[in-house]
Structure 1
Amino acid sequence: MNDRTDLFSIGQLARRTGLSVRTIRFWSDLDLLPPTARSAGGYRLYDAAAVARLELLRSLRELGIGLDDVRRILNRQTSVREVAQAHVRALDAEIQTLRLRRAVLRSVTRRGSTTEELRLMNDLARLSARERQQIIDDFVAEVFAGLDGRPGAGLAEAMRTMPAELPDEPTDAEVDAWLELAELVADPDFRRRVRDMAVAGSDDTAPPPQPLMSIDSAREALAAGVAPDSDEARAVLAGMVDPALSPEQRRKLADDMAAFTDHRVERYWQLIGVLNRRPPFPPAVPAVEWLIAALRADR
C-alpha cells in the first residue's frame, strides 16, 4: 500500500492514529477534517495530507486548544505560534488560580474554617487582581467621600496600596491576611471609625495632637504591668510630656490622641504590609492607649 496515493476510510484512520471512529467523524462533520473523496457507497475517504492534518488536529486538541482556534490554524488564518502564545497566557492564569486555591485549601485545613469562612475564602480566591483592588477602592471611596484636597485626605491614597497581584505561591500568612482584610473593610463599624479619623484629620480648625518624642517608655511600662493611674505611671509621664501642661491640657492631649488611635486601623496597615511583603512592625496602639489612660488619670 502506498500512503502517497492510497485513500483511507475513517476506520483505517482510527487504526493508524489510535483515535476513535466517533472522534474522527465528529471532527470531519465540523469540517475540520474534510474528506478527500467519497467511495462509490458514499463513505468518506482521506489521503496522506488528511492524515497529517489529523495528527496536527489531535496534537492541538491534546494541548487544550479550542476548536475555534484549531480551525483558524488549519485554515492558515493564524499561526501555531500565535495561538500557542495566547494559550500559554491562559494556562499561566489558570495555574495561578489553581495555586491560589491550593493555598486557600491549606488555610482552611489549618484554620478549621467554618462553612461560611470556606465560602468567603473560595469567593476571594476566584477574584481577579482588579476585583480585589476594587474591594479596597470601594472602601476608600466611601470612607473618604468629600475630603479630596483637605488636610489628612492623603491617607486615602495610602490605604489603596494593595499589591497588583497576589503571589503565584501565596503563603498561609498572605492568604489569611487577605481574608482578614476583606472582612475588615466590609465591617460598617470599621468604616465609620476610619471616616471619623479622616474627618478629624481634615479639620483645619482642630489643632493637631502634640507630637511625642517616643512611646518606648509607655511600651516598657505596659510590658511591666504598670497601672496607668499609679504613681509609677505618673513618673513615666514626666519623661514623656511637657511637665508644664495643666491637667486640662493633658486630658485634651489624650482626647486628641484617642481620635487617631484604633487597633483595627493599625491592623489594616499590618495586613497591607503582609500582602505587600513589607517587614512587619510592632504594634503601637497598646502603648498609646496606655499613655492615653495615664494622661486622663494624671492629677
Structure 2
Amino acid sequence: MLLAIGEVARRTGLTVKAVRFYADRGLVPPVGRDRNGHRLFSDDAIVRSGLVRTLRDLGVALPEIREILDRGLRLSDVASTHADALGVRIRVLRRQQAVLRLAAERDLAPLELKLVHELVGMSEVERRDLVGGFLEVALEGVDPGVRRSMTPELCRDPSDVQVAAWVELVGLVRDLEFGGVLRRVVENYLADGVGLGRDLVAVVRDECGVALGGGVEVDSGEAGVVVGRVVGWYAGVVGSEGVGGRLVERVEAAGDPRRERYGELVAVINGWEAPEGVGEVLRWFGEALRVHGVAA
C-alpha cells in the first residue's frame, strides 16, 4: 500500500514539512508519484522517518543518518561515538554549572568569575604542574608518600563542593606566605626528625588532646604538667638550650590554619575522609607554653 506524504506525517507524528525535508535529502525517499505528481511512500517510510526523528533528537547529524540508512553504517558505532561526545559535553556543563553556583553563593565580581572559570577549566596536566611545582619546593627532602598525601586529584566529573574546594586550594598554592610557612614546617621536621620515633605534632596531639578535650585551662596546674612532659620529651631529643623558643616557633608554624585547611581541601577533592584536626590542640599548647613561662 502506498502512502501520501500527509499519511506518513500522521503516522510518525512529524509535520508534512519535516517529511518533505527528509525526502528531499534522500533520507525518506518516495517510491513513486500519483497522477497529480505528489510523492508516494511505502510502509518502509514510516520506519525510516521514525528512526530519523529519533536520531535527530539525539543530536546525530543528517549525513551520519544517511550513512546509517543507506550505506550500512552500524547504528551501534554511531551511538557509541555520540554517547562519548555527550559525556564530554555533560562534564563541561556540570563544571560550568558549578562555577555559576559558586559565583552566586560568593557574589563574585566579574574578574573573580573569570579567574574561577579558568581554574576549573584547567587540564589535568596544568593542575598537576601547578600543585606539583608548589609541593616540590615546599616538601623538598621529605618522604614521597607525604607529597602524595598532599596532592589533589580533581576527578573528571567533580561535584560543586569539589570545584569550590579546588578553587580555594589554588588560592593557597599561590599564597607565597603559606608556601613559606609550609617549607618552615618541613625544615623544622627535618631538623628535629633525627632519632625521633614520632614528630613533634604527633606528640603534642597525643599529650595535649586529652587535656583540651577535658576542658583543662591553659593556666591551670594540670596544663603545666602536660606542658612539662612535652618539653621534657623534646629537650631529651634536641637538647635543652633554647628549647622553649624553639618549641614556640615550631608550634606556631605547624598550627597555621592554612596548613590544616589545605589538608581538608585535599580530602574533599580526593573524596577522602576529613583528616583529624590538630590546629586547636597546637594553639592550646602554644598558649600554655607562654603562660607557664617556657617560651623564652
TM-score by length of 2: 0.70
CA contact (8 A) 2:154 2:270 kept: yes
2:267/2:273 contact within 8 Å kept: yes
Instruction: State whether structure 2 residue 75 is matched by structure 1 residue 80.
Output: yes
Matches within 5 A, 1:81-230: 81-90=76-85, 113-116=105-108, 131=122, 133=124, 136-144=127-135, 150-152=140-142, 154=144, 155-166=146-157, 170=159, 175-187=160-172, 190-198=175-183, 201=186, 207-208=191-192, 211-212=199-200, 213-223=203-213, 224=215, 226-227=217-218
SS in 2 for 1:240: helix
Paired letter, 2:130: F
Contact 1:181 1:268 in 2 (8 A): no
Residues 139-197 of structure 1, C-alpha deviations (whole Å, 9 max, x = no match): 3144246679x413835443323253446xx5xxxx33541441232257735312542
2:240 partner amino acid = S
Partners of 1:256 and 1:225 in 2: CA distance? 22
Q: In the alignment, which residue of structure 1 is the partner of 2:228?
A: 238
- Aligned-partner SS, 2:175: helix
Quick one: which amino acid aligns to residue 116 of structure 1?
Answer: L
Q: Which runs of 5+ in 1 are unaligned?
A: none
Query: Take 2:45 and 2:163, find their aligned partners in 1: how far apart are those partners?
Result: 53
Matched residue, 1:274: 268
How far, CA to CA, are the matches of 1:164 and 1:177 in structure 2? Answer: 9
Question: Number of residue pairs matched?
Answer: 280
The letter of the residue matching 1:208 is D
Structure 1 residues 277 and 214: CA distance shift in structure 2, 3 A: same
Residue 23 of structure 1: how far off its partner (Å): 0.9
Q: How far does residue 114 in structure 1 lie from its aligned partner after superposition?
A: 4.0
The C-alpha deviation readout for 1:60-116, integer Å capped at 9, x for no partner, is 3344434343222113352122223334445556666777888889x87xxx82432
CA contact 1:36–1:50 (8 Å) conserved in 2: no
1:262 aligns with 2:256: yes
Amino acid in structure 2 at the alignment position of 1:25: R
Checking the alignment, whether the CA contact within 8 Å between 1:258 and 1:289 is kept in structure 2 is yes
CA distance in 2, matches of 1:14, 1:79: 26
Q: Which amino acid aligns with 2:217?
A: V
* Partner AA of 1:226 in structure 2: E
SS in 2 for 1:152: coil
CA contact (8 A) 1:215 1:288 kept: yes
- Is 2:37 the counterpart of 1:47? no
Q: Give the direction of change, closer, same or farther, for the CA distance of 1:278–1:146 in structure 2 (3 Å limit).
A: closer
Give, in whole Å, the separation in 1 of the partners of 2:163 and 2:45.
53
Match of 2:244 in 1: 250
Change in 2 beyond 3 A, CA 1:136/1:292? farther
Preserved CA contact (<8 Å) 1:65 1:87: yes
- Are the equivalent residues in 2 in contact too, given 1:152–1:198 (CA < 8 A)? no
CA RMSD of aligned residues (A): 4.4
Q: Which has the higher helix share?
A: 2
Residue in structure 2 matched with residue 69 of structure 1 by the alignment: 64
Question: Which amino acid counterpart does residue 216 of structure 1 have in structure 2?
Answer: D
DSSP 3-state at the match of 1:164: coil
Other structure's SS at 2:280 match: helix
Using a 3 Å threshold, how does the CA distance of structure 1 residues 101 and 79 change in structure 2: closer, same or farther? same
The percentage of aligned residue pairs carrying the same residue is 27
Residue 20 of structure 1 corresponds to 15
Q: TM-score, normalised to structure 1's length?
A: 0.69
How far is 1:32 from its partner? 2.2
Alignment gaps of 5+ in structure 2 = none
Amino acid at match of 1:140: V
Q: Give the aligned residue type for 1:115.
A: D
For residues 256-293 of structure 1, give each alpha carbon's deviation from its aligned partner in whole angstroms, at most 9, with x where no partner exists: 34334422221121222234333333310221233234
1:248, CA displacement in angstroms? Answer: 1.3
The Cα of 1:242 is off from its aligned counterpart by: 1.8
Would the aligned equivalents of 2:55 and 2:65 in 1 still touch at CA under 8 Å? Answer: yes
Counterpart Cα distance in 1 of 2:275 and 2:171 = 24
- Alpha-carbon distance between aligned partners in 2 of 1:24 and 1:62, rounded to the nearest angstrom: 15
Q: Is the 8 A contact 1:144 1:153 kept in 2?
A: no
User: Is the Cα contact below 8 Å between 1:251 and 1:295 reproduced in 2?
Assistant: no
